Structure 1
Amino acid sequence: MREIKFRAWDGHNKKMWNSDEVVVWNNNIYINPKKKLESKIYGWSHSERLVMQLISNKDIAGVGVFDRDIITFEDNKETYFVIFDEEREEYVACDISYFNKDLEKAPKLSRYWWGTKGIGRPIVLGNIYENPELLETKKSS
């Protein structure tokens, strides 16, 4: 059975909240930092860009790959970021040099090919919120 997990970026506090701390309900995101039902929760308005879903792939170390992660592959040292492609209706790895650019023109690597010969399994390097330096380093090279 596929795991369904979400995480959320709290831009105000510059913190990533993990799936055991996040509740998405009625188009709002609620955070429960103590991870207990009796603790206080707080929330903010839903923003599609701040909620990230776990996709079914795991990286070499067994770490789950989420939407908006920055990844590379063991046999292909190019760097990508993970996004949901509305047209294809699937998560894809998109060349990092296209971050904040016209994604329609960006080369996209379907999850179908992840782990195959020539590409290899994904390796999570970070994500676009907690590790923006990975975007700058790769875009400028």
Structure 2
Amino acid sequence: MGREIKFRAWDNGKMQKVDFNNLYVNRHHPTGTLYLRDENKPFGETHITQLMQYTGLKEADSGREIYEKDILSYEDGEESFTAVVEWSDWGFYLKGIAPNDVFDFADITDRGKVSATIIGNAFTHPHLLEVSDGTDN
């Protein structure tokens, strides 16, 4: 069985879960802009600036779902890193922030549970994407 397909969206300064059935592309717009049907809006739609897909994985401790652009912190005594969840043609991976490296979910996952902690996401916590130089100013 494949993983569950879910999305969340970032738009106008807020994060929201998205029902896939309510997404559509405006083909009349030159860029094919993605919209979410929203009856509470004047034109019945919300423009989506960033769509993030569910990885199919959850935090081991809390069971929280892990999505694209989530920032994870991992520490096991031998290795530690902070990374953002990214997508490539071959699947989801962890793009290291500290250290600047690439990490594989397979190394920190057991039966769909990830032994890392979600500490934020790239949109509501962009400061977590900055690399510290180790000095106090």
- Taking structure 2 as the reference length, the TM-score comes to 0.71
Q: Distance in 1 between matches of 2:108 and 2:81?
A: 13
Kindly indicate whether the alpha-carbon contact (under 8 Å) linking 1:72 and 1:122 is maintained by their aligned counterparts in 2.
Answer: yes
Look up the match of 2:17.
Answer: 18
Alpha-carbon distance between aligned partners in 2 of 1:80 and 1:57, rounded to the nearest angstrom: 15
1:51 paired with 2:51, answer yes
For 2:106 and 2:84, locate their aligned partners in 1 and report how far apart those are by CA, in whole Å.
Answer: 16
Flag the 1:74–1:59 CA change in 2: closer, same or farther, 3 A: farther
Q: Residue 81 of structure 2 aligns with which residue?
A: 78
Residue 6 of structure 2 contacts residue 20 of structure 2 at CA under 8 Å; is this kept in 1? no
- Quote the offset at 1:29 in angstroms: 2.2
Percentage identity across paired residues of the two chains = 29
Deviation for aligned residue 1:68: 0.6
Gaps of 5+ in 2: 26-31
Q: State the secondary structure of the residue aligned to 2:22.
A: strand
Which amino acid in structure 1 is aligned with residue 14 of structure 2? K
Paired residue for 1:122?
Answer: 116
- Report the residue type matching 1:124 in the other structure: I
Q: Give how far 1:110 is off.
A: 1.7
Distance of aligned partners of 1:131 and 1:68 in 2 relative to their CA distance in 1, 3 Å threshold: same
Equivalent position SS for 1:25: strand
Aligned to 2:104: 110
Q: Alpha-carbon deviation of 1:97? A: 4.8
Runs (4 or more) in structure 1 with deviation over 6 Å come to none
> How far off is 1:79 after superposition?
0.4
Q: CA RMSD in A?
A: 2.7
Deviations 1:4-53 (A, max 9, x none): 1101111xx21111135983213522153xxxxx7554222x65xx1000
Question: Structure 1: how far apart are the matches of 2:37 and 2:119?
Answer: 25
Deviation, 1:55, is 0.2
Number of residues of Structure 1 aligned to a counterpart in Structure 2? 117
TM-score computed with the length of structure 1 as normaliser: 0.69
| Paired AA for residue 118 in structure 2 | V
In structure 2, distance between residues paired with 1:63 and 1:7: 14
Identify unmatched segments of 5+ residues in structure 1: 33-37, 99-105
Spell out, residue by residue over 1:62-116, the C-alpha distance to the aligned partner (whole angstroms, 9 max, x if none): 0011001100124143100010123xx1100111158xxxxxxx63112222236
